[in-house]
Structures are given as structure tokens and as C-alpha cells.
Structure 1
Amino acid sequence: MKSLLRLTAVTALAVLPLLAACGGGDTATNADGGACPNGKVRFGVEPYEDPAKLKPAYEVLAGALEEKLGCPVELQVVEDYSAEVLAMRNGRLEIAQFGPLGFVFASTKAGAEPMVSFADASGALTTYTGGIWVPAASPIQSIADLKGKSLALSSAGSTSGDALPRYALAQAGIAESDLEINYAGGHPEALLALTNGKVDAAEINSQQLATAEAEGQFDKTKFRQVWTSDPIPNDPITIASSLDPAFKKKVADALLDLSPEAVAQVGAFLDVTPPGPLVAVTKETYRPLFDLADKLGLTEKDV
């Protein structure tokens, strides 16, 4: 079976340049001293949804951040979790949004420092849940009934689509060899594996569920949820710890000053509707994910 976080040889980034209204050279010249390392800020996003859908949503957020910073912001959608960690570690990303478990390893291997995450209209940090779903007529009533069945998971390294379901299986006393685990390649693909009858069960987290229902791709009346995780704090947007402290504060302040409208399209992918402004988070916010990594026995070799 694949390790929880795949070591990939893929280091190339799928660069999606932000088409900014202002010229990069003039903006960098007018920025405060030290506010624009290397003439731009590179913002990485992991592909937790179809990149073609993520790109326009994140361009809105990146454009608003660029305006606040007075510094060009270049959007990059990376290949996967491992590529994003590698890019920040190698100085090719100044800021990056990670999934909660991805942040655990980005923190230890790339010096990623959390700045902000996504809040609801009341200003409270939002959460989501992992879930396992089966057809409504399935005899599977709980996660314990998955023995001998096939289960579609998202992709190796996903918090809700890999780590938490596997931990739940272990807690239920089911060895991974007792069932057939298939990595579908992403949350949308895991959902499709279930709706197309390719597997007996699939992980569908609450974020993907909301997106699929809104797009008319999933009818809950035809399926049933047999397991739900504890709430997971939403993705952090992080910054490389090696950067100048004054610049790090400038970026954090700019993110916290973004309007709800600037983050609304991204928030919709994260089931944050209606969104509020971004809110500050710290490493302690994600302590349960560090604990989960310890319980699963993950080491540096898993990155």
C-alpha cells in the first residue's frame, strides 16, 4: 500500500501566473523596503480540487493580496502535497496553503509558519469533517463492516481522505489488508468511484459533499454515511520561516485585512458559506494533527 505521504520525483510546479492589472516592475519598485523578496511573492496551492476550478477562485484572493501588499503575487498550483513541501523548503514559495496534515510535515520539513485560515461570517475559525459513504441499500452499517470490502480514498497524504479514515479503520480493529483500499487521486474522484459503482464505499469529506451537491453531482438520498471524523480545522495559509520578520508581519496583516468578498470563491470550495475575513491561527491550532501523525507512526521517511 502507498505510504501516507508519497515521495514523488515530481518537483516541477504547474505555474498559473496571475494576470495582474499593475506592472510587476513598477509595483516592486514602489513597495516598502524588504516587502517584496525576489521581486514577487509566490503563492502555492495544493490541488485539492480540479486546478481549472481552483485557479479563478485563487486569482481573486491573490489579486486582493497583491493590492494590499503592493507587491506582485504569482499563483502556483503544485503537483501534490510533497511537491508543495519541497518547493517551500527549496525557497521556491514564499507563502502556501496546505491541508491540515500537509501542514504538519511542511512545518517540520520546510519551516512553514501558519498565519491565517478561513472563518465564517461571525469570525469563528471553520472546520470540516471526513466521512465514509456507502449506497443507501448497502449492508454496510458501520466502519466495522468494511472488512472484505473495497474503499476509495482520496490521495496519499490527505487529512480527511487518507489519514483519518485509515486511523478509524485501525481503531475499529480492521487491518488494511482486510479490505481493498483504492487511491482515487482526489476527493472528486473518490466520490465518482462510489457513484459509478466502482467501490463498496468511499471517503467523501464535508467540503467535497457541499461542492458536489451544489453542482448536482451527488444525491444524498441514494447514499448513506457510515462514519464521520471529529472536526478538522480548515487549511492554514503559511509563510516560509526563513523570510524577514517584518515582511512576514506585512503579509499576515494584509491577509487579515482582506474582505470576505476576496476570499468568498476559495471559501466556497472549503464549505465556508457565507465567509468572514481570514482569522489568525498558530501551530497549536493544528496540534491534533501533529498528534495524529504521532499515533500513525509517521516519520521523515513518509515525506
Structure 2
Amino acid sequence: MMKKTLLAVSAAAMMVAGAAKADYKPLEKDPEVINFGIIATESTSNLKDQWLPLLADMEKSIGMPVKAFFAPDYAGVIEAMRFGKVHVAWFGNKSGMEAVDRSGGEVFVQTSKADGSQGYYSHVITNVKNTNINKLEDIFKCDKSLNFGIGDPNSTSGFLVPSYYVFAQNNVDPKKCFKTVRNANHETNLMATANNQVDVAANNSEQIGRTKLKDPAAAAKIKVIWTSPLIPSDPMVYRKDMSKELKSKIKAFFLGYGRMGDTEHATKVLRGISDGQGYFMESNNTQLYPIRQLALFKNKLKIESSDAMSAAEKADKVAAIDSQLAELDVLVKHQ
């Protein structure tokens, strides 16, 4: 019975993985320099302040050069990993999913908070002085009078989560509802809201927490009008076709960081990342299952509300999504 269950789970895993085209460029050998990708949640200068101390410690630990790789958007890091220009990267769950599906990536650890907790929240925010907007329903007048700031298309909290929970579940098309819909990183969207450059924006609890630490005056200018369910902590992803020895060294560094060696120094470095990170925790590709479900649910709702397809075409597409959701349900129950 156990053997049959494991075979069913394995088959479901292969079907879900097979839904994405693995067209990444294989590595010919292990890299001589590890290029570490950092997604564009903030300005590059801010991200350097946070991550370069950790990368310097990683370089000493694994005994080879580690260089930071920055791109203007999340897709830049995903594509760089796909073509072997990035070997390890910090992603959000949505971008991590893309890296696993398209770039030969593999989740190996995930972040945590300083208090040991895991996960964070997507928010919708507005300026604290905007007395006309106090709850989500207040932005759904859809008279094209409001400017909305949304995140990078590969952002979990800035795009996928609000796209599903805020818009798809309320049958709202942002492009038809708002005067403008502007894509930007979390930092830019928060500051634009604080400075009344956009009326409403998607954001997350980590960016708000970091702004409270770095720019409390700006943080005091925003208010949260919606909070999502808990989102899994960010995954760290490496190229799965690196040697087991190199991957083991990298994974050992992350799992030992703050737990072994100069723990005081490492803890200080971690506290300087985002809104204050804790230790890295063991993880794997299964942490992406809820995000896969969310993406499929979003697509299903979009198809069901479409006027551009016939009833038969809708039924076929919805059936295909339901099949994928059923496969994921098996995986979630047996992980």
C-alpha cells in the first residue's frame, strides 16, 4: 500500500514538473566563480548593503569567489540562472517557481525571521491621510480615478497574491478599474504611496518592517487596508546540475550560518537583511506547492470570467487546470 502511494506521488510530481518546459542551458562543469542572484525588491545600493556581507562570508566558507548579480527586474535573475550566468539566488516563491521550472533551479533552504517564525504577508496600502480609502472595497469603485502601484510580475507578494486574492476573487480587472497600473519594486511602491504619487499599492510586511527601521518617517505615512494569508518564507535556489560536492558546500554554509563559527557576526549580518532575518531553514521544491496552487486558481478564475472563449473551450481549459490541481493536492497531502 505504501509503495503504491509513493508511486502515485512520484507520478503526480512528474506530471506537475512536466507542465513546464525545461529549456535551460546545462552547465558543462562546476563554475569557478559563484554568481549569486538577488531579486530587485529594492534599489541595488540597498540590496548591496544587506547581502554583500553574507556573500563575503560565503566566499570564505566554500573556498571560492562569490559575486553578486543584480538585474533591474526579477526576470533578469531568472533568465541569468537559466543560461548559467547565475548559480545561486535569493528568490520569492513565485520567482523561485519560475527558476525551478525554467532555469534548472532547485530550492535547498528558505529564510526565517529573527524570532524563528517563518512566512510573511502581502498588503495593500494607501497614504495614511487618505480618508476615502480605509478598506479594500473602497478601491473597487472602478471609475478610473485611482492610480495603483503593483509589483514585479514575478513577485509573489507584490503581484501573484494580490492578483488572486484582491482582483481575481473579486472579479476586478485592474486595467479596467484604475486610471493607471504601474509595476515597480516594493521599496518604490511604498515610497510612491507615502509621497502620494500613487493612491494605492501592493506591498508586503517585510518591506514595511524594513522601512520602519530605515525610514520611520516614510513608514508612518502609509496605512494597510488589506492583509493576505501567510506566504511561505523566501526560497534560496541553486542550479541543480552543479556537482553534489559543490551543492553540499553551499547548503552547509547556509544551514550553519549563525549556528556555527562566529555566530555573533553572522547574527548581525542576518539582522541587517530585509526586516531582520533569522537562520536559514532546510527546504526543497515542495515549499512551492501552495504557490503553484495559487497560480492555477488565479488562471482558472480568469478563464471562467473570460468573454473571449466559447463555453466548450472554457470547459476544456478548466478541466486541465482541475487535473493539475488534483495532482498538486496529492503532493501536498503526502509531503
- The TM-score, its normalising length taken from structure 1, stands at 0.78
The list of structure 1 runs, each at least 4 consecutive aligned residues, that deviate by more than 6 angstroms after superposition, is none
Letter in structure 2 aligned against 1:116: V
Stretch moving more, 205-214 or 174-183: 174-183
Paired residue for 2:275, among 259, 271, 275? 271
CA distance in 1, matches of 2:196, 2:115: 40
Distance change in 2, residues 1:77/1:223 (3 Å): closer
Paired residue for 1:133, among 116, 125, 128? 125
Q: CA deviation at 1:51?
A: 0.8
Matches within 5 A, 1:153-168: 153-167=150-164, 168=166
Distance change in 2, residues 1:243/1:209 (3 Å): same
- The residue that corresponds to 1:209 in the other structure is 208
- SS of equivalent residue, structure 1 residue 106: helix
Unaligned runs of 5+ in 1: 1-35, 299-303
The question of 1:293 aligning with 2:299 is answered: no
Alignment length, in residue pairs? Answer: 260
- The residue that corresponds to 2:254 in the other structure is 255
- The residue that corresponds to 1:107 in the other structure is 100
CA distance in 1, matches of 2:272, 2:31: 32
**Partner deviation per Cα, 1:132-159 (whole Å, 9 max, x = no partner):** 1223442223222212233212322211
Letter in structure 1 aligned against 2:285: K
Q: CA deviation at 1:230?
A: 1.1
CA distance in 1, matches of 2:227, 2:51: 29
CA distance in 2, matches of 1:60, 1:91: 24
CA distance in 1, matches of 2:153, 2:180: 11
Letter in structure 2 aligned against 1:134: T
The answer to whether the 8 Å contact 1:132/1:202 transfers is yes
CA distance in 2, matches of 1:221, 1:75: 32
Letter in structure 1 aligned against 2:150: L
The answer to whether the 8 Å contact 2:162/2:202 transfers is yes
Distance change in 2, residues 1:283/1:218 (3 Å): farther
The question of 1:145 aligning with 2:130 is answered: no
- SS of equivalent residue, structure 2 residue 249: helix
CA distance in 2, matches of 1:169, 1:103: 23
Distance change in 2, residues 1:276/1:178 (3 Å): closer
- The TM-score, its normalising length taken from structure 2, stands at 0.71
- The residue that corresponds to 2:179 in the other structure is 180
The answer to whether the 8 Å contact 1:114/1:283 transfers is yes
The answer to whether the 8 Å contact 1:123/1:279 transfers is no
- The residue that corresponds to 2:188 in the other structure is 189
- The residue that corresponds to 2:328 in the other structure is none
Distance change in 2, residues 1:296/1:81 (3 Å): same
- The residue that corresponds to 2:62 in the other structure is 69
- The residue that corresponds to 2:31 in the other structure is 38
The answer to whether the 8 Å contact 1:154/1:189 transfers is no
The answer to whether the 8 Å contact 1:121/1:276 transfers is yes
Q: CA deviation at 1:290?
A: 1.3
The question of 1:170 aligning with 2:187 is answered: no
Paired residue for 1:98, among 69, 85, 91? 91
Q: CA deviation at 1:107?
A: 0.7
The answer to whether the 8 Å contact 1:118/1:277 transfers is yes
CA distance in 2, matches of 1:284, 1:155: 23
Greater helix share, 1 or 2? 2
Stretch moving more, 101-110 or 156-165: 156-165
The question of 1:238 aligning with 2:230 is answered: no
Q: CA deviation at 1:215?
A: 2.3
Alignment RMSD = 2.3
Unaligned runs of 5+ in 2: 1-28, 301-335
Identity %: 24
- The residue that corresponds to 1:9 in the other structure is none
CA distance in 2, matches of 1:121, 1:194: 27
The answer to whether the 8 Å contact 2:158/2:186 transfers is yes
